[in-house]
Structure 1
């Protein structure tokens, strides 16, 4: 229709009035013998001239008087019919003028002169629109109403009308006459078109233009078939409305709706009762039983044949809320109903009907099982009143969609067989309606299962795993924003309660509990760390401390015995002071008198005991293999399941978002869930990197990726590590526990990689580990430096706290030594004079020693300072080796020959470089390297150089102690 209107806007001809005495109808000419294109054009010219005159009479005698007489029921259809009538008339006039010009101005016509052939689509669309509106008039009985209500119109035009009616439908009622006048001339004229096209096809001189003529001829034949079927459907539908009660017609009757089949015409019964009447319309399927009626939108109707158990002549019909059977007595009836139902469903999904109706256009194509549509559930159940907009399969939501309940609940995400399954975001409003609980989770069979982020209306956030809508496994519950009692729990859950190993941050008391839980209560062994530096180990039973424990005070005193949560000593206990003295006895606390004890003070210890003051907790109480079992189990399940995509999604985390962002991301999730590009093929890509260097590069990239399983695991481990040892949990008594944990992480990550690799090998039919070139590879040593950056800040802080006293002595020694000029320092450190790089110093003729510092061994000093720029122990050792090489280069330059330094030669020069480098917390750095270095380096050159650096560190401390003692002696 749009093409017609567009054409008419550009070229609307003035209608030429033909003589009124021209015949209204012309009999189809009986052409004989060979005809030329010019002959056909002449015949078509006479047809168009006659038809245009006929249209003029219909317009003046019927349409215009009817429309000008005033409004009446169904007048809108006659207005629309008149619009389409005028379009056909305009096209007829345009065709007439083109033909007239061709016949009168050219001796020989060609196919290109036939406007009707080259603009066939305009004619086809115009006639389709006209007869579609005409059929709607038939359905709503528009001609009966017009004939009955406008009798005065017919009286005033009685002579002309009678003549017109005699030409088309003599001796009939006004309604029938009006119906006939407005459709028979058009059908007859289309028949003439078809006859002319048939003659054109017989012409042998058409050449390459014949294909266009044949195509136009077929289209006009289909048009005639369409009109015939459309009028038949309209008549059947009108008769149906007359036969039904007003109760049903008020619900079902619309001008556009067409009846396609009636069980009274072609017998079939519904399984809900043999007295049912089944009606198939072009948009709905209707079941009538007694005074009740059910209608089903064809877009959400699935029809298929059933198994032999249910009957040979049975069709199964599935809809969103009901499934039933259609039973036929004969196989022919079932076949016809199945075909008509399938084609009606297909056309309803396409949004338009075939042209012509029931043509071969869609024949052989069954309606798709997966569809997209909207539906509101009405039946009782969890979905009552909910509106669903999205993908369907076999009568159930399946794929991506959005489900909205009347109370404001809203779910957007994946569905499977009618239930939430896959990724989805669910918003649940509170009673106040201004706050929501927002769940962004993985779902399975309608319940939260797998990983999810839940932001509650009270500003509490949970990030972790679920099972059957309950927190289960590893998870983090955070309530630190603006709550009255802020807290954060990182650990294991069981049946929605804290159970197993977990870490609790109490922001109000500024303390952290690390230990065991049972049903939301501290239960079992636990360690409490306070921000002040105090920590203690106790046993708990249902959230209460029981038995004795160990209390480590900030001044390095240790108390062993019973004490209260407020750190008051009670009962028998032993207090060990930093200097080694011990006090053992019975302690009491009185409000007025403070701490009171009766016992024995032992001063025989004398010297401080570093073993006591640096006591380590957690290793024996919490075996490293048992700390985060619930976290590792999710990844092991992924490997054991064969790396299925659904399982991958269930254990993988999401990007952290606020509830507002989550609500905004519902539409985004509807289409896509990730902003970062996912790995192309996890298993195939993994097998492409098996050589050692390629493997290291692959692992580095995988651990950085927030989408790769290895990266997901590392991110989760980093969250658990930070929750345990960061912030107020940074306590020197937990260093060994943290160090052990990082090493265990490397082992677990490597085993997870091996599981993925073995799975990939198995899928690709390749041999497993014993036949690959990785069988002798030290995997954990390869993984450790790659994952260390994720734990380095917290781990280094623990090392700094643990070696705080030694580093303080070292820093004081550095300060004292830095006061020496270069030559004086070289002399003080006993660097042999023939190694002194005097050429590096700027001296005048009057100077005996340098006034400028930091010039000797400058390249080695700058190299050593780079040690703090990396977290990898391997790279730190490489920097140490390069420092040695720079010292050696300097000595070779001074000696002007190659010289291998001995330990006695190297140590004084290295002490000089360490002094000038002034690296803070060098002790923490050295011990971190020693504890986390690859065992393969033990006994090698790196080990030798690290031992040398340790010696320098200790010697600098010793020099400071000697300097202190000398000052004390001098002052005394």
Structure 2
């Protein structure tokens, strides 16, 4: 029965009858005695009669059993009569079903014949039936425009909304229908809730409304029952696995649309809400949105993977980058490869940010406005060029500063791309200066119209201009979006500068993006130190809220030791934060110090290697180490070569290994403690803790340990400690030890090698 009705609905009998015409003509003599003449007028009618004849038999069988039941009281026993009644009930139900199915198939065939070819090709299937349409049973969109065109067709599994030559389909499996109470604005209304949309429909009368409500609900029931039997829904339509609450998606599940969109995650009241992942097809790929959704929009921390392989990781608002975030564009080897880390506003770069153009070998650090560089900023390049100034609509304009790898610098008017574009002065490390008009760029050549002034003072090795940093953004004004986001997450007032561990991780990522990578530049060291101090201040305010007993930043509290062997502790922001912060930023920070002290450390290292070629006795004698530090009591210098190895293993080896740990420690306090421990091992272990030492004794011993420790970048380590050391630690015993180490480094760097040789 189903196959016959499917063929009727698809006009299959008419099409097939054409193929069977020859066979039917040959059988006409047989059909003449069996089939009425009106059914044999043409091959199509004859073929339809033959195919539908079994369904007619069902009605005839039902009539025959009905006759048996009516007349059976006089001929059959009660038991047989009960069997006849049961059989009649089954045949009657089958007859009604066959008649209903055939009528639906006929109505569906007639409907497809009136539809456009586009709609028939898209929607017609053998098992799909037309249940109701608005041309014969009026229903329309509430408040539809006067010149609009809306019609609806209810099929067995979808509701079709036709507008002029276009149409939309809505799956009955995911539909919720409610009757709308009559109000002045809506009369005889029906409210339909769908995963993609909501519809308010109105009928001309309450009778039409009730009929549409009935067929809609029956259609939904039939579609749901059929879906449960088949174990799924059509893949071309939306499907979902979450729970339903009042016709709305609620809970965790998956939604797939016919246009390729796919959402996996949590729903609330029919919208994305909670953790989820959305794929939106784009030309040749798909945009993927991952994160926390709120009322259908990505909010807070999230990830966007674009179809062109770009990736954004950071804060979002209404599914657009907003706040602090990082955008990686292109691949490392491509010409467009770049990484932007900084502030966003409604999908565009806005505020302070760092753009690392990897392929170009440039890094910009400054302010942005509406996706372009605008305001104070600076640029460093792989060629060692550094320049800073004011940007306007992505162009460098006005006065600025440009510094070069050979310590030469230019102060004056700069143009796009860091070119010379007007009046200014060029300063050489030798002290010579050229003042005039400059055009061109440093790599390709400069055209100068000016005056050369010979320097009269001694050459400046660093040659740092006074205007250095004038056009940079202050450290406290950087990465403000990170702090603001954490404040919003914690529900704190905007005036309270407080954050969580997320702030530390975000600040560390920003620090690495700014000062790490292949474009690390020694000129950035002062800014890196300023940012470390700024980070220390901001993070300390968090700890201050968590522990109100801590002193304010401007105060220092001395904690007395509980035992004699414990040291005094001065509670300061650096004491609390440095052990937490510096391990994360130490790698890029130490790299900048190494670059800054590269020339001095190379000279120091060259001399150190020559000194280390000398035996211990010669080296100690040259350095002036008192014999009491390395000769046992009563031993003579003749025995020194025999006893020194044993003594060195006992005292100096451990002191040397301790000092070598200077490069693997992070905070200035830890480094000073290592220096102090080195002194304890080199001096006190041999002479006892009661020995009253003097600088004349201390310096040569320290110098020997420093030489044998072979710390390659000692100058960088000393400068790092000096920059970040707390003021109260610059005095006392630790301060003296640090000064001694600095003096050792200076002497090794400047001592004439001929004295050793």
Scaled by the length of structure 1, what TM-score is found? 0.54
Q: 2:373 aligns with which of 522, 528, 531?
A: 522
User: Could you tell me which residue of structure 1 aligns to residue 693 of structure 2?
Assistant: 901
Determine helix, strand or coil for the equivalent of 2:591. helix
Alignment of 1:98-177 (within 5 A): 148-149=60-61, 165-168=76-79, 170=81, 177=83
Alignment of 1:918-957 (within 5 A): 918-935=710-727, 937-957=729-749
- Alpha-carbon offset, residue 415 of structure 1: 2.0
Instruction: Find the aligned partners of 1:240 and 1:153 in 2 and give their Cα distance.
Output: 17
Q: Is the 1:619–1:736 Cα contact (8 Å) retained in structure 2?
A: no
User: Could you tell me which residue of structure 2 aligns to residue 486 of structure 1?
Assistant: 337
**Residues 450/847 of structure 1: CA separation in 2 closer, same or farther (3 Å cut):** closer
**Residues 512/243 of structure 1: CA separation in 2 closer, same or farther (3 Å cut):** closer
- Alpha-carbon offset, residue 169 of structure 1: 5.5
Instruction: Find the aligned partners of 1:537 and 1:300 in 2 and give their Cα distance.
Output: 61
User: Could you tell me which residue of structure 2 aligns to residue 725 of structure 1?
Assistant: 515
Instruction: Find the aligned partners of 1:824 and 1:73 in 2 and give their Cα distance.
Output: 112
Instruction: Find the aligned partners of 2:378 and 2:316 in 1 and give their Cα distance.
Output: 27
Determine helix, strand or coil for the equivalent of 1:857. helix
**Residues 840/886 of structure 1: CA separation in 2 closer, same or farther (3 Å cut):** farther
Q: 1:879 aligns with which of 665, 669, 674?
A: 674
**Residues 780/307 of structure 1: CA separation in 2 closer, same or farther (3 Å cut):** farther
User: Could you tell me which residue of structure 2 aligns to residue 736 of structure 1?
Assistant: 526
- Alpha-carbon offset, residue 439 of structure 1: 1.9
User: Could you tell me which residue of structure 1 aligns to residue 312 of structure 2?
Assistant: 462
**Residues 143/931 of structure 1: CA separation in 2 closer, same or farther (3 Å cut):** same
Q: Is the 2:311–2:329 Cα contact (8 Å) retained in structure 1?
A: yes
Higher helix share: 1
Alignment of 1:698-709 (within 5 A): none
The answer to whether residue 103 in structure 2 is matched with residue 246 in structure 1 is yes
Q: Is the 1:857–1:890 Cα contact (8 Å) retained in structure 2?
A: no
**Residues 848/166 of structure 1: CA separation in 2 closer, same or farther (3 Å cut):** closer
User: Could you tell me which residue of structure 2 aligns to residue 808 of structure 1?
Assistant: 602
User: Could you tell me which residue of structure 1 aligns to residue 548 of structure 2?
Assistant: 769
User: Could you tell me which residue of structure 1 aligns to residue 128 of structure 2?
Assistant: none
**Residues 318/245 of structure 1: CA separation in 2 closer, same or farther (3 Å cut):** farther
Q: Is the 2:630–2:647 Cα contact (8 Å) retained in structure 1?
A: no
Determine helix, strand or coil for the equivalent of 2:625. coil
Determine helix, strand or coil for the equivalent of 1:406. coil
Q: Is the 1:168–1:181 Cα contact (8 Å) retained in structure 2?
A: no
- Alpha-carbon offset, residue 914 of structure 1: 0.4
Instruction: Find the aligned partners of 1:847 and 1:295 in 2 and give their Cα distance.
Output: 97
Alignment of 1:534-683 (within 5 A): 534-565=385-416, 569-587=420-438, 595-610=447-462, 612-613=463-464, 617-618=468-469, 621-640=472-491
- Alpha-carbon offset, residue 911 of structure 1: 0.8
CA RMSD of aligned residues (A): 5.5
Higher strand share: 2
- Alpha-carbon offset, residue 531 of structure 1: 0.8
- Alpha-carbon offset, residue 448 of structure 1: 2.7
Count of residues in correspondence between the two structures: 621
Determine helix, strand or coil for the equivalent of 1:622. coil
CA offset digits 1:256-285 (Å, max 9, x no partner):
xxxxxxxxxxxxxx9999xxxxxxxxx99x
Determine helix, strand or coil for the equivalent of 1:799. helix
Q: Is the 2:141–2:201 Cα contact (8 Å) retained in structure 1?
A: yes
Q: 2:364 aligns with which of 506, 513, 523?
A: 513
- Alpha-carbon offset, residue 564 of structure 1: 4.7
Instruction: Find the aligned partners of 1:635 and 1:72 in 2 and give their Cα distance.
Output: 65
User: Could you tell me which residue of structure 2 aligns to residue 658 of structure 1?
Assistant: none
**Residues 416/497 of structure 1: CA separation in 2 closer, same or farther (3 Å cut):** same
- Alpha-carbon offset, residue 300 of structure 1: 6.3
Instruction: Find the aligned partners of 1:272 and 1:490 in 2 and give their Cα distance.
Output: 49
Scaled by the length of structure 2, what TM-score is found? 0.67
**Residues 460/500 of structure 1: CA separation in 2 closer, same or farther (3 Å cut):** same
**Residues 898/818 of structure 1: CA separation in 2 closer, same or farther (3 Å cut):** same
- Alpha-carbon offset, residue 324 of structure 1: 9.3
Instruction: Find the aligned partners of 1:152 and 1:798 in 2 and give their Cα distance.
Output: 103
User: Could you tell me which residue of structure 2 aligns to residue 96 of structure 1?
Assistant: none
CA offset digits 1:838-887 (Å, max 9, x no partner):
59999997968979997572221111112222223333222222211111
Determine helix, strand or coil for the equivalent of 1:509. coil
**Residues 826/304 of structure 1: CA separation in 2 closer, same or farther (3 Å cut):** farther
Instruction: Find the aligned partners of 1:857 and 1:953 in 2 and give their Cα distance.
Output: 18
**Residues 820/304 of structure 1: CA separation in 2 closer, same or farther (3 Å cut):** farther
- Alpha-carbon offset, residue 147 of structure 1: 9.2
Instruction: Find the aligned partners of 2:282 and 2:672 in 1 and give their Cα distance.
Output: 58
Determine helix, strand or coil for the equivalent of 1:769. coil
User: Could you tell me which residue of structure 2 aligns to residue 870 of structure 1?
Assistant: 665
The answer to whether residue 261 in structure 2 is matched with residue 409 in structure 1 is yes
The answer to whether residue 595 in structure 2 is matched with residue 832 in structure 1 is no
Instruction: Find the aligned partners of 1:272 and 1:240 in 2 and give their Cα distance.
Output: 33
Instruction: Find the aligned partners of 2:62 and 2:93 in 1 and give their Cα distance.
Output: 26
- Alpha-carbon offset, residue 941 of structure 1: 3.3
Q: Is the 1:318–1:324 Cα contact (8 Å) retained in structure 2?
A: no
- Alpha-carbon offset, residue 636 of structure 1: 0.9
Q: Is the 2:629–2:683 Cα contact (8 Å) retained in structure 1?
A: no
The answer to whether residue 323 in structure 2 is matched with residue 473 in structure 1 is yes
Q: 1:785 aligns with which of 579, 591, 594?
A: 579
Larger CA deviation: 870-879 vs 510-519 = 870-879
Q: Is the 1:512–1:729 Cα contact (8 Å) retained in structure 2?
A: yes
**Residues 154/236 of structure 1: CA separation in 2 closer, same or farther (3 Å cut):** closer
**Residues 890/821 of structure 1: CA separation in 2 closer, same or farther (3 Å cut):** farther
- Alpha-carbon offset, residue 249 of structure 1: 11
**Residues 712/376 of structure 1: CA separation in 2 closer, same or farther (3 Å cut):** farther
Alignment of 1:433-452 (within 5 A): 433=284, 435-452=285-302
- Alpha-carbon offset, residue 151 of structure 1: 11
User: Could you tell me which residue of structure 2 aligns to residue 794 of structure 1?
Assistant: 588
Q: Is the 1:616–1:735 Cα contact (8 Å) retained in structure 2?
A: no
- Alpha-carbon offset, residue 386 of structure 1: 3.5
- Alpha-carbon offset, residue 296 of structure 1: 10
Q: 1:390 aligns with which of 235, 238, 242?
A: 242
Instruction: Find the aligned partners of 2:515 and 2:721 in 1 and give their Cα distance.
Output: 19
- Alpha-carbon offset, residue 514 of structure 1: 1.2
**Residues 439/912 of structure 1: CA separation in 2 closer, same or farther (3 Å cut):** same
CA offset digits 1:84-113 (Å, max 9, x no partner):
xxxxxxxxxxxxxxxxxxxxxxxxxxxxxx
**Residues 587/322 of structure 1: CA separation in 2 closer, same or farther (3 Å cut):** closer
- Alpha-carbon offset, residue 177 of structure 1: 4.1
Which runs of no fewer than 5 residues in structure 2 stay unpaired?
A: 6-53, 109-138, 143-155, 160-168, 207-212, 494-498, 558-570
